[in-house]
């Protein structure tokens, strides 16, 4: 009986020590053990604990996108999930929301983002024109499993939209809505808000690392600035509009 009590006391002691270590585990130690689960994401300058931590730098495919802060919830671990509120901020990029990992899947919820429109210029490949303004929006939900994105939905707005370069013009905000498709792609629609000088009506599809889009662009009320800018974008149509067709690599952004 005495041996049993000693073994029980040792077991309780081990569990308490293990709990304390888990509760106060330094973030850099956790990162060393968890690197293989992060794929192309790398962290530098890590401080804090695995529950509340900070990284001076977070990069994706070697491209630095800013600082990272996270606050993890301990309760979901009882169900085999790691859930954390994250915030990435730097160089005009701001991303904040909830990320979770369980059973080989990574999911996002209420992930809000904002970035300079100029970051998308390599994907659109519209020559020497520079994109102006800010693209912001929210990913309502999304799940990444086996390199397939599913159950994704959200929206985005290109605010203070415009182009500069060979031609300069400011136009109305452009709105996008998107959702995942049965084939694993993400498809959506593009339109203007109806308040400005550029009329936009288009669709897009993102599959793996590529994007395909097409849109009809036209100058509302014959606006001269927009008409001039459209000379450098897409293919002119008989009705005076422009057809823009894009096939690009998402990784060009990085």
Say what the pLDDT of residue 104 is.
Answer: 72
Say what the pLDDT of residue 11 is.
Answer: 43
The secondary element (H helix, E strand) that includes residue 59 is: strand 52-60
pTM: 0.79
Residues of the chain with pLDDT under 50: 2-23
Chain segment 232-246, per-residue pLDDT in tens: 888 899 888 999 888
């Amino acid at each position: 009986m005495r041996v049993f009590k000693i073994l029980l006391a040792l077991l309780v002691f081990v569990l308490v020590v293990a709990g304390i270590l888990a509760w106060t585990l330094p973030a850099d130690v956790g990162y060393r053990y968890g690197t293989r689960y992060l794929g192309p994401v790398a962290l530098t300058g890590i401080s804090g604990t695995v529950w509340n931590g900070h990284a001076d730098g977070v990069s994706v495919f070697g491209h630095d996108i800013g600082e990272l802060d996270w606050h993890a919830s301990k309760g979901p671990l009882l169900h085999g999930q790691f859930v954390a509120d994250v915030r990435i901020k730097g160089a005009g990029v701001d991303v904040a929301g909830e990320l979770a990992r369980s059973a080989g899947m990574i999911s996002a919820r209420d992930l809000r983002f904002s970035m300079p429109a100029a970051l998308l210029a390599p994907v659109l490949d519209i020559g020497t024109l520079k994109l102006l303004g800010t693209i912001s929006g929210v990913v309502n939900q999304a799940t990444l499993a086996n390199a397939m994105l599913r159950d994704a939905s959200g929206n985005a707005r290109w605010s203070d939209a415009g182009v500069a370069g060979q031609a300069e013009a400011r136009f109305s905000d452009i709105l996008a809505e998107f959702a995942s498709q049965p084939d694993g792609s993400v498809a959506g629609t593009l339109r203007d808000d109806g308040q400005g000088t550029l009329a936009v009506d288009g669709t897009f599809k993102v599959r793996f690392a590529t994007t395909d889009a097409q849109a009809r662009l036209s100058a509302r009320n014959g606006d001269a600035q927009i008409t001039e800018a459209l000379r450098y974008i897409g293919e002119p149509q008989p009705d005076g509009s422009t057809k823009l067709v894009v096939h690009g690599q998402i990784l060009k952004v990085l």
